Amino acid sequence: MSLHPLSDEEISDIRLQLNELRVEHRDLDLVITHLIENPPPDELLVRRLKKRKLVLKDRILLLEQMLVPDIPA
């Protein structure tokens, strides 16, 4: 992470990435739910999708933290 404040363009780029990641995360959630509720589920596929969903969640949290200015302790 850089020590300088984010430019408006950087903030805009981060928000765009966040939106795309949130959409993919929500889509994966729907696919996972569908696969679980409509057997026979492909267990390997479900595990891979859940792993991808966690990766997306971590990336979303990281980008959100980049948008929040540091608060002095």
- Report yes or no on 46 lying in a domain: yes
Q: What is the per-residue pLDDT for 4? A: 78
Q: Is the pLDDT of residue 14 over 80?
A: yes
Q: What is the per-residue pLDDT for 16? A: 96
Number of domains in the chain: 1
Nearest to 28 by CA among 7, 2, 56: 56
pTM of the model: 0.70
Mean of pLDDT values over 32-59: 90
Going by the DSSP 8-state scheme, the letter that residue 17 receives in this structure is: H
Q: What is the per-residue pLDDT for 73? A: 56
Structure tokens at 15: 């928000």
17: number of CA atoms within 13 Å, CB side? 17
- Report yes or no on 32 lying in a domain: yes
- Report yes or no on 7 lying in a domain: no
